[in-house]
């Protein structure tokens, strides 16, 4: 179905476009804040003439962000930020129905993944929009000559922000980046409520195992881990939290969870989910003591939280038990089950965050893109937080869309909060 009008693309099957459109429109129903922004962008065109290179999960919600950026006047080129999260019908719809250049195929191998990122870089983006810093890394590592062409960028997730801060500290960052992840309206909704629900969704879809009565180990009690532990408890699981940060661990204890080191938790769990942004959180010595039938999944950004090479090495053989479920046979007869190849289980085995959650993240992306488009000349090559006014505006729009109203400070209250001399 390729036509001469289609933008440059490499997608699995343009014939899937009409299914993609139906699902993109379904998601849009739950994205009222982004819709309001798109309507304003259509009028104001704040991104007119800008080329945006995006590396994001190619999902229905991302499609609505792409439509918003295009409505703002931008030319957008999109590649996937994870080889397993691409929805092929969405990629097709973006190309064939919405005129957006997409380079993403579900299940693409590592070489294709990087070839797709190169295709985005070939478009010489002036703004970057990353989820995990891969595009920014590529530009800085293999195309330094292009770094000067980029006015600014945005970053979606915790792991990307950690990398960008490391680049900033090393003096290696070549342009300003707004850390969308750090907006309250992003991580509060997305990491906590979005990851909480969709990770459980991915595990249940992949395994169809009842969670009630099982021991569910959550590694990392940050924004994502908290949401996940809460939802697992809601399903009737006994949750054990693994942490390295004393304050986060204390919070887990005070929230009513059992806290244990991974060496101990490894012997207890029926399910293990990593949400740390760290590496090799679950390792060889832990696989060695796990129960027969233990299920391992990751919902952190990269597929390194479970030491998969060690798991392969330890096992005598492996088989696909169900879609997204690989069984590893241990020499002593036990079987351990790894979900979604250790990649983000909520995106690989389910549909990622619900649209109403991504509404908040992508409202931040759209308004941050508008902000950097207008202010890049005043910004230094540093990592910036999302301006407070953007965060507040998104929270206000979301409440409005949910038909909740709040109070405003009275003049007397405002004065009282501003003074220090009025006591008892
Ligand atoms: N699945 C998704 O859709 C999704 C959404 C948002 C973020 N993420 C990713 O999830 C990861 C976590 O994000 P977050 O916002 O919760 O981060 P966070 O910084 O709030 O929390 C991470 C927690 O993990 C703990 N931790 C680090 N190393 C550990 C170890 N070895 N053992 C146990 N705990 C350890 C830290 O102390 C911290 O409390 C990141 O990789 C992020 O990019 C995924």
DSSP 199-264: HHHHHHHHH----TTSEEEEE--SHHHHHHHHHHHHTT-EEEEE-S-HHHHHHHHHTT-EE--HHH
CA angle 156, 162, 163 (to 5 degrees): 95
Cα atoms found within 13 Å of the Cα of residue 111, Cβ hemisphere only: 0
> Whose CA is closest to atom 1 on ligand 1?
299
The reply to whether ligand 1 has any atom less than 6 angstroms from the CB of 243 is yes
Which DSSP string corresponds to 319-369? EEEETTEEEEE-TTS-EEEEEGGGSBHHHHSS-SS-HHHHHHHHHHHHHHH
CA of 275 to the centre of ligand 1 (A): 4
Query: Residue 36's closest CA among 403, 416, 394?
Result: 394
- Closest-lying ligand 1 atom to the alpha carbon of residue 248: 39
Would you tell me how many other CB atoms lie within 10 Å of the CB of residue 423?
4
- SS3 category, 83: coil
Q: Which of 55, 158, 245, 306 to mutate to test the pocket of ligand 1 (most atoms within 8 A of CB)?
A: 158
The reply to whether ligand 1 has any atom less than 6 angstroms from the CB of 245 is yes
Number of helical H runs and strand E runs in the chain: 19, 15
> Whose CA is closest to atom 33 on ligand 1?
243
Q: Tell me the C-alpha to C-alpha distance, in Å, between residue 48 and each of 212, 368, 376.
A: 52, 15, 15
pLDDT tens, position by position, for the chain (424 residues)?
445 467 899 999 999 999 999 999 999 999 999 999 999 999 999 999 999 999 999 999 999 999 999 999 999 999 999 988 899 999 999 999 999 999 999 999 999 999 999 999 999 999 999 999 999 999 999 999 999 999 999 999 988 999 999 999 999 999 999 999 899 998 888 899 999 999 999 999 999 999 999 999 999 999 999 999 999 999 999 999 999 999 999 999 999 999 999 999 999 999 999 999 999 999 999 999 999 999 999 999 999 999 999 999 999 999 999 999 999 999 999 999 999 999 999 999 998 889 999 999 999 999 999 999 999 999 999 999 999 999 999 999 999 989 999 999 999 999 999 998 877 6
The reply to whether ligand 1 has any atom less than 6 angstroms from the CB of 244 is yes
Per DSSP bridges, beta strands 152-155 and 177-179 are parallel
Q: Which of 275, 360, 361, 364 to mutate to test the pocket of ligand 1 (most atoms within 8 A of CB)?
A: 275
CA of 7 to the centre of ligand 1 (A): 37
The reply to whether ligand 1 has any atom less than 6 angstroms from the CB of 195 is yes
The reply to whether ligand 1 has any atom less than 6 angstroms from the CB of 221 is yes
CA of 346 to the centre of ligand 1 (A): 14
In three-state form (DSSP H/G/I as H, E/B as E, the rest C), the secondary structure along 111-156 is: HHHHHHHHHHHHCCCCEEEECCCHHHHHHHHHCHHHHCCCCEEEEC
Alpha-carbon span 17 to 95, nearest angstrom: 8
Token pair for residue 119? 């295709």
The pLDDT of residue 2 is 46
Q: How far is CA 103 from the centre of its chain?
A: 19
The reply to whether ligand 1 has any atom less than 6 angstroms from the CB of 300 is yes
The pLDDT of residue 424 is 67
The reply to whether ligand 1 has any atom less than 6 angstroms from the CB of 248 is yes
The reply to whether ligand 1 has any atom less than 6 angstroms from the CB of 159 is yes
CA of 225 to the centre of ligand 1 (A): 7
- Closest-lying ligand 1 atom to the alpha carbon of residue 301: 41
- SS3 category, 8: coil
DSSP state of 381: S
Query: Residue 156's closest CA among 140, 173, 123, 134?
Result: 134
- Closest-lying ligand 1 atom to the alpha carbon of residue 223: 16
- Give 400's contacts (C-beta < 8 A, 6+ positions apart): none
Residue 95 near residue 11, CB atoms below 8 Å: yes
The reply to whether ligand 1 has any atom less than 6 angstroms from the CB of 157 is yes
CA of 191 to the centre of ligand 1 (A): 9
Per DSSP bridges, beta strands 127-130 and 51-56 are parallel
> Whose CA is closest to atom 39 on ligand 1?
222
| CB-count exposure of residue 148 (10 Å: 0-12, 13-18, 19+) | exposed
Q: How far is CA 186 from the centre of its chain?
A: 10
Q: Which of 164, 191, 247, 273 to mutate to test the pocket of ligand 1 (most atoms within 8 A of CB)?
A: 191
CA of 49 to the centre of ligand 1 (A): 37
Would you tell me how many other CB atoms lie within 10 Å of the CB of residue 329?
15
């Amino acid at each position: 179905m390729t036509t001469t009008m289609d933008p440059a693309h490499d997608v699995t099957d343009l014939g899937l476009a009409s299914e993609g459109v139906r699902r993109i429109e379904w998601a849009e129903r739950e994205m009222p804040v982004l819709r309001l922004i798109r309507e304003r962008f259509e009028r104001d065109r704040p991104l007119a003439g800008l080329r945006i290179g995006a590396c994001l999960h190619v999902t229905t919600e991302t499609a609505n962000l792409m439509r918003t950026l295009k409505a703002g006047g931008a030319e957008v080129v999109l590649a996937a930020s994870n080889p397993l999260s691409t929805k092929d019908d969405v990629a097709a719809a973006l190309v064939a129905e919405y005129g957006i250049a997409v380079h993403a195929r579900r299940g693409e191998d590592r070489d294709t993944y990087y070839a797709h990122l190169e295709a985005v870089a070939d478009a010489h983006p002036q703004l970057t929009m990353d989820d995990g810093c891969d595009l920014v890394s590529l530009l800085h590592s293999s195309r330094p000559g292009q770094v000067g062409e980029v006015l600014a960028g945005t970053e979606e997730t915790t792991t990307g922000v950690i990398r960008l801060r490391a680049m900033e500290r090393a003096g290696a960052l070549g342009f300003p980046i707004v850390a969308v992840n750090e907006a309250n309206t992003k991580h509060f909704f997305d990491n906590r409520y979005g990851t909480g629900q969709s990770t459980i969704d991915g595990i249940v879809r992949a395994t169809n195992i009842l969670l009630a009565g099982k021991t569910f180990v959550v590694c990392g009690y940050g924004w994502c881990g908290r949401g996940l532990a809460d939802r697992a408890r809601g399903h009737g699981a006994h949750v054990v939290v693994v942490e390295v940060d004393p304050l986060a661990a204390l919070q887990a204890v005070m929230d009513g969870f059992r806290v244990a080191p991974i060496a101990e938790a490894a012997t207890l769990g029926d399910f293990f989910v990593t949400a740390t942004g760290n590496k090799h959180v679950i390792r060889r010595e832990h696989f060695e003591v796990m129960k027969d039938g233990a299920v391992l999944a990751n919902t952190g950004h990269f597929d390194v939280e479970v030491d998969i090479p060690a798991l392969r090495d330890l096992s005598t053989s492996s088989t696909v038990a169900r879609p997204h479920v690989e069984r590893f046979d241990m020499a002593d007869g036990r079987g351990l089950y790894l979900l979604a190849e250790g990649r983000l289980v909520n995106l690989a085995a389910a549909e990622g965050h619900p649209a109403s959650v991504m509404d908040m993240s992508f409202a931040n992306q759209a308004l941050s893109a508008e902000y950097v488009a207008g202010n890049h000349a005043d910004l230094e090559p540093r990592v910036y937080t999302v301006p407070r006014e953007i965060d507040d505006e998104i929270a206000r729009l979301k409440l409005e869309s949910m038909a909740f109203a709040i109070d405003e400070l009275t003049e007397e209250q405002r004065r009282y909060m501003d003074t220090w001399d009025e006591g008892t």
